[in-house]
Amino acid sequence: MAEAPYEYFEHTADVGLRVRGSTLEELFANAAHGMYGLLVESPPRALAERRTVTVEAGTVAELFVAWLKELLFHAATDRFIGAQFAFQTCTEQRLQATVAGGRFDPARHRLGKEIKAVTYHALQVEPHAGGWTAQVIFDV
């Protein structure tokens, strides 16, 4: 059985996410799935909407946080939950992706934890022989 691409860990009053990916694109997609897994217990199944998300940063770690913050913004402002990610650009300083997903509907979907912020506390994004690993902590 293959190892799961992400796992959660407790951190004082917060929740952490450790994530793996064989490529940078896979790392970012797995991190998004992990964050959405905290936000909603039963995500929308229909991929009725597509959004282009573009973020830039000075380092890959800053880019990782910017990506998750942008996705969290869409979830918080208009309940958009992404499910599929197609990357047009994914370097260590710039990411552009088309995110396919749907809107969270409390009548049909179960809410998970409320994420207040993506933090830089104990942030790690590192390449290794098999790809990439990252760790991020969410303020819940």
DSSP string, 73-92: HHHHHH-EEEEEEEEEEE-S
> Which of 13, 10, 3, 6 has its CA nearest to residue 32?
6
What is the DSSP pairing of strand 94-103 with strand 124-128?
A: unpaired
pLDDT at 123 over 70: yes
pLDDT at 4 over 60: yes
pLDDT band at 13 (very low <50, low <70, confident <90, very high): confident
Domain residue spans in the chain? Answer: 6-139
CATH code, 6-139: 3.55.10.10
pLDDT at 117 over 80: yes
Residue 47 and residue 53: Cα distance in Å, rounded?
16
Mean pLDDT of the region 11-35: 95
